[in-house]
């Protein structure tokens, strides 16, 4: 599946139960791409940097490992399709205790694909994928 991508960052240390439920993936896409994303169909993604916000109340470690390519499965979520794009690379993962939509709404960037990762969102998020431009926009140490 993701054999064409450079190695992903090391998986985060084991995530204790009852800890973070939300994660953000800091993703670099070196070249613009047309990507077929599940029911959203074909979407155009500009070259540059993205932040995807997701959550898992159970199995957060497995979910993140899946997104990093350590667990191979058939694409299921919108982000799975994006991460299979040639050259696409997760640069960093951070974890949060706050709810997914709270973290997403505080994440900078513009909405590149309405509805991406937000098909079950009830908090009014237009997308759980944000386009931030280029790495410098993440600030020192990649912090957004």
Which of 15-29, 37-51, 89-103, 128-142 has the weakest average pLDDT?
128-142
17 confidence band (pLDDT: 50, 70, 90): low
SS3 92: strand
Rounded to whole angstroms, the Cα distance separating 87 from 98 reads: 31
| Residue 36 in this model has a pLDDT that exceeds 80 | yes
Specify whether the CB–CB gap between 50 and 43 falls below 8 A.
no
Rg (CA), the chain: 14
Extract the tokens encoding 59.
Answer: 């199995």
Write down the domain spans for the chain.
Answer: 22-133
Band of the pLDDT at 4, cuts 50, 70, 90? very low
DSSP 78-89: HHHHHHTSTT-E
pLDDT over 80 (residue 140): no
Dump pLDDT digits (tens) for 63-121. 888 888 887 778 888 999 999 999 999 999 999 989 899 999 999 999 999 989 888 78
Residue with tokens 């990507």: 35
Q: Which of 94, 110, 78, 111 is nearest to 19 (CA)?
A: 94
pLDDT at 103: 94
Model-level pTM? 0.80
């Amino acid at each position: 599946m993701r054999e064409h991508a450079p190695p992903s960052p090391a998986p985060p240390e084991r995530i204790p139960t009852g800890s973070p439920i939300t994660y953000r993936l800091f993703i670099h896409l070196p070249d613009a791409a047309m990507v077929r994303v599940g029911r959203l169909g074909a979407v155009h993604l500009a070259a540059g940097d993205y932040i995807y916000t997701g959550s898992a109340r159970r199995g957060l470690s497995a979910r993140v490992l899946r997104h990093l390519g350590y667990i191979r499965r058939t694409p299921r979520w919108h982000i799975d399709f994006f991460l299979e794009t040639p050259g696409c690379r997760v640069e960093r993962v951070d974890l949060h205790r706050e709810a997914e939509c709270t973290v997403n709404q505080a994440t900078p960037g513009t909405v590149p694909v309405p509805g991406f990762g937000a098909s079950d969102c009830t908090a009014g998020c237009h997308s759980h994928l944000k386009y931030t431009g280029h790495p410098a926009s993440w600030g020192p140490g990649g912090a957004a």
